[in-house]
Structure 1
């Protein structure tokens, strides 16, 4: 046994030596049997990792599926969600195609999420779509499906006045509809047909239809008998609501002092004490000579001649803003000065604007429409936007325009527009009157919405007489009350 062990050992040593020798010829030669060829094992193909057990996409089970199987299911699932759907509101129907709102579901991303998800995880489809496009479609549907408020006009038989009483009305809750669609998509539910309900209008939403205000204003204007010009603009909705003879030209009287104020702000970077006091007197007490002072300061030219020059500059600025029928070509109370000094004034045409025509003179004019636009411009500027900042941003700012509105709120005349408003309602306005014309124009800040209103009344007077101030004032108050009640109607008891 020992000899066998030694022999095997020697054989191993000899084999090792033969393998390591640098010169094979010097080593003993051993007979080695020929090697038998053997095949190498094939390279293993990795087994696809399936979706973890219990993973779900919405209510669809993906657990245990291969990637290919899961991909097929996910694509079918996404396709089912990306189908046209229908919205139904009462008798109104709207079909929305996926492309209408850019509806997309990323199947590849869902597959990656499913393969990476732990056991029993639930993943959601997370669709993407254009919310603005969906909202625009819902707004259109809401407009079509809206049930209008029923309104009744209560007329006063003693004075020219009327007010609205409203009831009923319903609308589509656009935000709620948008949320319902989003929740269905997020839950992976095919949209199909979605029935949406109308909700009752709140008292704050119960406005009469604009046509009702238009008819009511026309009726009051007919009761006035002579020429009444009225213009109403909804600041919140940014739209004209009603207009009666809004482009008829009237004598602007002191309503143009709002333009005088704006011109001063466009000309002077700040006001000294004298200028500030003049501004207060002009707006709060309608002081004519204070208006002349501001027009002369605006061009740096003292006295009445400077005021006339300032009025010309202001009128050109107004025309550049598109207010071509709103101008003042002279100074207040300057007839004697003009005659004694042989001054030739600019003058408008004998007849301007649209019919019916009024006796305006040729030097101081406006229309209800244009005066309302002036207030709109100042309000836009106070909110940091609009033509005044675009054209005159070097002199104006939102703060300076807000300051103008605050000055207008201090107008001491409460016998015209303000007399038609409930106590405590803010009116930023300027009134004006001469023998045959009374007017008031401005912005009213009300619970039911802010609006611009301009009211001009003309009634020719016999030579040497004047139309009763009381009649003019009460009629303007009546128009003001009617417009206020459109935005803030009385809600009928159920």
Structure 2
């Protein structure tokens, strides 16, 4: 009898303990069911441990909060009402109840007992907005904040350039997708709009032309002739560059070129002295004529002028000629396209003429030749070497006057040039080796009857400074 009683007691214990455990687990399960389970989210908001009412209220607060928007750092705000955003709490509650019901019952209780982690679930949230209103918001933002690229602007007061500015354009489609996601999110309520950037336009020769023209506008009745060439890109700027001007001492550049075409380096001391005095500060017309007579003209100065003219024409410089040596007169002049114009005239010397364009191209030929190529070597095979053309450059670089083009560039910049002037015409023509790039600059100025040195020298220096700043705008 005792043995039977002991068995009954043990059976009761065995049944009671699991029953008590399951009862305790069920009570705990029912208690846990009053709040939302782990790994549950709604519109990006983690609602684990919240009651359903608390979660739905948190969503309502979130959807009523404006979306913080930025356009390239500019803070903006998008009000939910402005896009007719509507949050349907009842529909959202129905979706939540449906998911909770699927997790309840025996399977849910067993999962709780076994401490099986629930699968992540994102409860659908009933929220909508007006696509049309959102498109209108983006259109207003684009209209207010988008800007087209702005080109560089000349600054006459400083002879410099204000850099160009990039353009900005709202990427409407990409930004719309970001805003739509933020409007329907309870947590990610900040949006950086997608903005495309268009690079700022580069500084171009036309802008330099605007700056130079602004300088020239202050000098009434002056007829300027300007030629600029970028020796890296080949870009050119011309202001009256094909007008005929008096050749002046600037034409001694062509005498230099012809001397090296005819003679081989090294030159004998006498020729060297003639070149030094012809191209240096003294700018001797007498010794220039010796080169015309004894080197280019085979003993005849007029033939030297004729040969020089023929060579210039052969090089394509058809507006450049000499019919007589310096300080001499010729029997006639030469008709060229430049001096045939009837719309403008500088009353050029009838015996020697050129244009800023012709002289600029001749300087470019010397520069190219010093690097082993170019028109001089093509037109006269074997007549020039790179070393001879480099010597021509050095001759021009020794002409130091600390005025005109030299006065407009930095002290360390190499300026190989030849200047010249008469009462009504002043000029300077240069190859300039600057840190930002090598360039040709030729400036002729003409004023009827008389041109003051104070006016021309400062204007040419300003033109040189503006041109130098163009090539060195990033230095």
TM-score over 0.5 for the pair = yes
Contact kept? 1:163, 1:485, Cα under 8 Å: yes
Tell which has more relative contact order, 1 or 2 (C-alpha 8 A, sep 6+).
1
Contact kept? 1:267, 1:395, Cα under 8 Å: yes
Distance 1:300 1:360 in 2: 24
Pair 1:230 & 2:226 matched: yes
Distance 2:296 2:393 in 1: 23
Give me the TM-score of the superposition, normalised by structure 1: 0.56
1:448 to 417, 432, 436: 436
Q: Who is 1:397 aligned against?
A: 385
Following superposition, the deviation at residue 301 of structure 1 comes to: 3.7
What SS is found at the alignment partner of 1:384? coil
Following superposition, the deviation at residue 299 of structure 1 comes to: 3.8
1:212 to 196, 203, 207: 207
Distance 2:197 2:435 in 1: 24
2:252 to 253, 257, 261: 257
Q: Who is 1:467 aligned against?
A: 451
Contact kept? 2:224, 2:240, Cα under 8 Å: yes
Aligned residue-pair number? 296
Contact kept? 1:258, 1:430, Cα under 8 Å: yes
Q: Who is 1:313 aligned against?
A: 307
Change (3 A) 1:149 1:431: farther
Contact kept? 1:368, 1:454, Cα under 8 Å: yes
Distance 1:217 1:472 in 2: 14
Pair 1:489 & 2:473 matched: yes
Change (3 A) 1:152 1:294: same
Q: Who is 1:370 aligned against?
A: 358
Following superposition, the deviation at residue 308 of structure 1 comes to: 1.8
Distance 2:253 2:203 in 1: 31
Distance 2:341 2:432 in 1: 26
1:330 to 313, 316, 324: 324
Contact kept? 2:159, 2:462, Cα under 8 Å: yes
Q: Who is 2:155 aligned against?
A: 154
Q: Structure 1, residues 12-42: CA drift from partner, whole Å, max 9, x if none?
A: xxxxxxxxxxxxxxxxxxxxxxxxxxxxxxx
Q: Who is 2:179 aligned against?
A: none
Following superposition, the deviation at residue 224 of structure 1 comes to: 2.2
Contact kept? 1:428, 1:442, Cα under 8 Å: yes
Change (3 A) 1:348 1:215: same
Following superposition, the deviation at residue 420 of structure 1 comes to: 0.9
Contact kept? 2:156, 2:214, Cα under 8 Å: no
Following superposition, the deviation at residue 149 of structure 1 comes to: 7.4
Give ranges in structure 2 of 5+ residues lacking alignment.
1-147, 168-195
Q: How does 1:55-66 map to 2 (within 5 A)?
A: none
Distance 2:339 2:379 in 1: 30
Q: Who is 1:476 aligned against?
A: 460
Q: Who is 1:287 aligned against?
A: 284
Distance 2:342 2:279 in 1: 29
Q: Structure 1, residues 75-121: CA drift from partner, whole Å, max 9, x if none?
A: xxxxxxxxxxxxxxxxxxxxxxxxxxxxxxxxxxxxxxxxxxxxxxx
Q: How does 1:413-428 map to 2 (within 5 A)?
A: 413-428=401-416
Give me the TM-score of the superposition, normalised by structure 2: 0.58
Q: Structure 1, residues 368-420: CA drift from partner, whole Å, max 9, x if none?
A: 11111101111111111112111212221111111111111111222111111
What SS is found at the alignment partner of 1:357? coil
